[in-house]
Amino acid sequence: MITFDVITIFPEVFDPYLKTSILGRAQKKKLIKVNLINLRRFTTDNHRTVDDTPFGGGPGMVLKIEPIYKAVQSLKAKSRKILPAGRQVKTRVILFSPRGKKFNQKTAKRLSKYDQLILISGRYEGVDERVAKHIADEEISIGDYILSGGELPALVLIEAVSRHVSGVLGKKESLEEIKGSYPVYTRPAEFTPKDSSTSSPQGKTRRGLKVPKVLLSGNHKKIDEWRKKHSS
Ligand code: SAH
């Protein structure tokens, strides 16, 4: 079982998504576990302050190192306690940052080999750089754009990593995992749009939109070849 510990100031945004479909089932089957940790629990002042203004000036606020340090320490200590003696927990601490290494399928597979992934979601202007340098094992970006927080990146990582955990996917979904992603079609074999605005390779006609013939042929060798040719 792989445990995802997500450190965030918005734990409430995760629930409905995590309960749905494949991820919901994976948790019920105890193949994965997701803990949502509110960073404010690790503050010591009355206002539960997690952020402060940036040194050197400039707009916005920066997430402080202390609460993040305490949260990570506590999560590592907790996981040490649960494990049967002798077996060492493999933990990886990940910080989400637009400057991190770009996330891809290979990274997802590599991370699926850990017992515990501690995911730190940033907010505001980002996270005190000492977290990247001294607390996180790696920094990950999910793409070349700026989001408002690390919550969506955490969900993206949890889903992509979980799909590599044995038993999480049914037979049907795992096919894509092996063969790469290919285009798919379903009934009807020909769809005729009512308006003339739908474009088709034949031009803006009202002709039907057809499914590639080979997929209707029942010839599985040919179908496999077609999928391989069109897969990424
Ligand atoms: N001013 C910061 C951006 C902060 S965005 C900078 O230029 O680096 C706030 C937080 O959202 C970040 O700390 C990070 O945790 C998350 N985030 C934003 N875009 C992201 C991306 N593409 N990938 C991963 N995390 C991202």
DSSP-derived 3-state class of residue 38? strand
What pLDDT is stored for residue 59 in this prediction? 96
Mean predicted lDDT score pLDDT of the chain = 93
Nearest atom, ligand 1, residue 149 CA: 11
Tens of pLDDT, residue by residue over 82-103, are 777 778 899 999 999 999 999 9
Tens of pLDDT, residue by residue over 33-74, are 999 999 999 999 999 999 999 999 999 999 999 999 999 999
Nearest to 157 by CA among 2, 4, 1: 4
Amino acid sitting at position 119 = L
Cβ contact 133:177 at 8 Å = no
Is ligand 1 within 6 A of the CB of residue 156? no
Q: Which domains does the chain have, with CATH numbers?
A: 2-173 (3.40.1280.10), 180-229 (no CATH)
Instruction: Measure 148 CA to ligand 1 centroid, in angstroms.
Output: 7
Query: pLDDT exceeding 70 applies to what percent of the chain?
Result: 91
> What's the whole-model pTM score?
0.92
**85 contact partners, CB below 8 Å, separation of at least 6:** none
Nearest to 126 by CA among 108, 153, 107, 161: 153
**163 contact partners, CB below 8 Å, separation of at least 6:** 22, 108, 169, 173, 177
From 97, 129, 151, 158, give the residue whose CB has the most ligand 1 atoms within 8 Å, as the site to mutate.
Answer: 97
Nearest atom, ligand 1, residue 121 CA: 15
Which element (helix H / strand E) includes 152?
helix 151-162
The residue written with tokens 């404010």 in the block is 40
